[in-house]
Amino acid sequence: MVRPRAGNLMSIQGKELAVACARAADETKAENIRVWDLRGLSNLTDYMVVCSGTSMPQLRAILRDVAGKMEDGHGVKPVHSEGKADTRWVVLDFIDVMVHVMHQELRDYYGLEDLWKDAREVAWQS
């Protein structure tokens, strides 16, 4: 998908966007950050980022910072978000990247790692 440019910022997509989201979450002290390449496995998105927090303030901060840093640094906004920090699971939908911000208890319960075990993990740390 081609994204419009915002001002003089270059829009990013795909793997580059997924890695940028993971790094933004890491800067906000998100835990257990994983990035998966779902191309060929899912029709919903190409990449998925999953990260955890252990408190409502931390979940809110992760959501705020990931969305804010993608908009400020890259001119990209989520086209949709589902859930609220109070529900302990929020998805930021950037079309080709979906970012799941989850409370660790819910992440353990739903086991996304098992669900996407056939996906290739993407290295995001430099």
- The one-letter code for the residue type at 122 is V
Q: What is the pTM assigned to this prediction?
A: 0.88
DSSP 9: B
**Domains observed in the chain:** 14-121 (3.30.460.10)
In this prediction, residues 37-42 reach a mean pLDDT of: 94
**CA neighbours closer than 13 Å in the CB half-sphere of residue 103:** 15
Residue 6 has pLDDT above 50, yes or no: no
pLDDT digits (tens, 9 = 90+) for 111-122: 988 888 899 999
Beta-carbon contacts of 38 under 8 Å, excluding residues fewer than 6 positions away, are: 44, 45, 46, 47, 48, 116, 119
In this prediction, residues 97-116 reach a mean pLDDT of: 92
In this prediction, residues 12-38 reach a mean pLDDT of: 95
